[in-house]
Structure 1
């Protein structure tokens, strides 16, 4: 059996854990730079605030409806997510973290278990230990556990947040209830093609022949169909090293001077290098991008990128930052107001097992230096050691005018009991 554990309105729920005054009130969480709505509480959905709403257009509406609008507090959300995932490991060793607020669990060897009771235990422990409400869907396959989770979320009064598909009757009823657009893994284009075949529900989808699905689509859709039929074909994903690592961000404001852009690129490159070392990889290629604000049609637009091939693989912050900064200087154009940039490292190889160049190699002093910097940054958490061309005060320069305290990751923001 598989379970999908999904945190309800995760960002809003994290805010409510430490600010009980927000409970049962409409909440909206904004994207980077306080741009648009990326998460809403159920109360905000009821009053009509749409997902993706640009806040500058909906400011008056939010005030009229008493919606509490907050900036994204990613350190808080990330820490709370990690706590939830650690709790799930108490129930089974087989856990696949699917997103910041979702995880699949596989129950191997759990014979004669009351899964409804077990699901309730999962919910109650997460709620008691973190304050985060969840829904749990349990079924014989991953795809069906997704369907079960939707039912648990849609009908909280009847299911109490837990729904188990453990019979053929329940499976058939759930598939007939699930619209084709709500099936996990079926995107917009596939949805249109299936509807053209009068396939409007998950039940309609499983009625299609295996041969037709394989010939018309791919092995992925065939596995999804088998999963919905109750035959487990989609297994838990193993944690694998990434083949490319990217750090791309929008700027807090538009920049038209090269020095500010260099500082941002250096910070992005530093982030990539840290991620490389974390997964014990080195890169052969660095890809740097720079683009103007495409939403401001009245301004001159410019988008450019540059690829740098290194003669030897490296995970050194010094080398990656230097190369990225040099690259962005060559694609920068005077008079353009830039809004977004990024650094992507590619051509990854294991740091301890790669081809050595006879004539060129990394400075041997870099390895112990990076090890020392990583150790200090991990110990002091707030990245105290930076390159000289980085802003010493902040890692990401984002507009966050409605930011709540970092209750769990910053000692200065810890709750004070009066």
Structure 2
């Protein structure tokens, strides 16, 4: 059996752990630059506010104190996610992260009679140790576990925990009620094509001929159909596979044509991309840099260039990545354009332990490579221990245009010494 633990309104819940005054109130978290709402509490949804609603449309409700919108605090959310995962690892046979707020959990070695009790214990321990409310769905397959989790969240009678057996009456009733669009991996276009065949519910797909599904659609959908029958077919190995390219980009806080500020922004993106490169044990052979103006500002001239710079050798050294990104920027930058966004993409990635060395390499080259690895390792260790950005290449200018708008950013309570929660007595 495998479980799926899903944190409820995760971003909002992280904020509420440290700000109890927000509990029971309509709260939302905004996207980068405070652009639109990307996370909503149940109370905010009840007011009819939808995901993606532009923040400026809600200013009148904010001023009246009817709702509370906060800036994204990703450093806090990432650390709280790691804490939830630590709790799950302590009380389970293994954890497979699926996203920042969802984790698959192994329930190996437990008898069926123990499953519900253990799932409830997991549900309670995460809330007790981290303050984050979760729902737990347990089933023989990952696809059924997803549906069990959905039932635990939507059906009050489950009280946040749902355990399904593949051959139970309860599972059959649930599958008949679930529409195809709510099944993991079944998109809107597939729903339309399956409807032509008379397949309209999760139960219909489970009863369909798997070979026919594979012939007319794909092996992926065949596996989904088998998983709905309780036959495990989907593993999470792909989650752990190294990415083939690494993109780091973000919109600027405001439009700018200042070359120095744009260079600073790309420097931050390049360093972050190199960190991700090292964390997955890869090397990059090329660096792609792009800039974009605002396509919705028809009153402004438009220019969205990009350039690729090939590296002299595969590397994960931030300094070499930034040097290449700087050359690319020099090639594409044009004055008198107001840029809205810039980014750095690392291309043609290979595994660090499989790189093919050149016949022209010398002992000096090997020594340089070793020194590079040592410097980068020390930087990563310090940033991991002391907080991201403790050691960086180049000092960003305060107040530069590329800095994000974060007018309602809360403290990074768990990762910054100077932002720890302070208890005061009257």
* 8 A contact 1:47–1:65 mirrored in 2: no
Superposition map of 1:24-173 within 5 A: 24-63=24-63, 66-156=66-156, 158-166=157-165, 167-173=167-173
For residues 342-397 of structure 1, the C-alpha deviation after alignment (integer angstroms, 9 at most, x for no partner) is: 11112222334411224476844433332333333334324232223644899x82
Aligned partners of 1:108, 1:379: CA distance in 2, in Å? 34
**C-alpha displacement at 1:59, in angstroms?**
1.8
Aligned partners of 2:112, 2:46: CA distance in 1, in Å? 41
* 8 A contact 1:266–1:389 mirrored in 2: no
Aligned partners of 2:281, 2:415: CA distance in 1, in Å? 25
Aligned partners of 2:276, 2:67: CA distance in 1, in Å? 37
Aligned partners of 2:385, 2:100: CA distance in 1, in Å? 24
TM-score (norm 1): 0.94
Count of residue correspondences: 416
Once structures 1 and 2 are overlaid, which stretch shifts more, 103-112 or 47-56? Answer: 103-112
Matched, 1:367 2:395: no
The answer for the alignment partner of 1:273 in structure 2 is 274
Could you say what secondary structure the match of 2:334 adopts? coil
Aligned partners of 1:229, 1:171: CA distance in 2, in Å? 10
Superposition map of 1:223-234 within 5 A: 223-234=223-234
Matched, 1:413 2:419: yes
Aligned partners of 1:392, 1:374: CA distance in 2, in Å? 24
The answer for the alignment partner of 1:236 in structure 2 is 236
The answer for the alignment partner of 2:193 in structure 1 is 193
**C-alpha displacement at 1:279, in angstroms?**
2.4
TM-score (norm 2): 0.92
**C-alpha displacement at 1:295, in angstroms?**
2.7
Taking structure 1 as reference, are residues 298 and 72 closer, same or farther at Cα in structure 2, changes over 3 Å only?
Answer: same
Taking structure 1 as reference, are residues 372 and 162 closer, same or farther at Cα in structure 2, changes over 3 Å only?
Answer: closer
CA RMSD of aligned residues (A): 2.0
The answer for the alignment partner of 1:288 in structure 2 is 289
Taking structure 1 as reference, are residues 400 and 172 closer, same or farther at Cα in structure 2, changes over 3 Å only?
Answer: same
Superposition map of 1:303-318 within 5 A: 303-318=304-319
Aligned partners of 1:187, 1:337: CA distance in 2, in Å? 38
Matched, 1:388 2:389: no
Taking structure 1 as reference, are residues 235 and 378 closer, same or farther at Cα in structure 2, changes over 3 Å only?
Answer: closer
Aligned partners of 2:283, 2:300: CA distance in 1, in Å? 39
For residues 65-88 of structure 1, the C-alpha deviation after alignment (integer angstroms, 9 at most, x for no partner) is: 711111111111111100001111
Listed as ranges, the gaps of 5+ residues in structure 2 are none
Aligned partners of 2:42, 2:382: CA distance in 1, in Å? 42
Listed as ranges, the gaps of 5+ residues in structure 1 are none
For residues 33-80 of structure 1, the C-alpha deviation after alignment (integer angstroms, 9 at most, x for no partner) is: 000000000000001111100111222244457111111111111111
Once structures 1 and 2 are overlaid, which stretch shifts more, 231-240 or 248-257? Answer: 231-240
Could you say what secondary structure the match of 1:303 adopts? coil
Taking structure 1 as reference, are residues 258 and 110 closer, same or farther at Cα in structure 2, changes over 3 Å only?
Answer: same
Could you say what secondary structure the match of 1:114 adopts? helix
For residues 322-345 of structure 1, the C-alpha deviation after alignment (integer angstroms, 9 at most, x for no partner) is: 101110221122221111111111
Aligned partners of 2:195, 2:252: CA distance in 1, in Å? 41
Superposition map of 1:177-192 within 5 A: 177-192=177-192
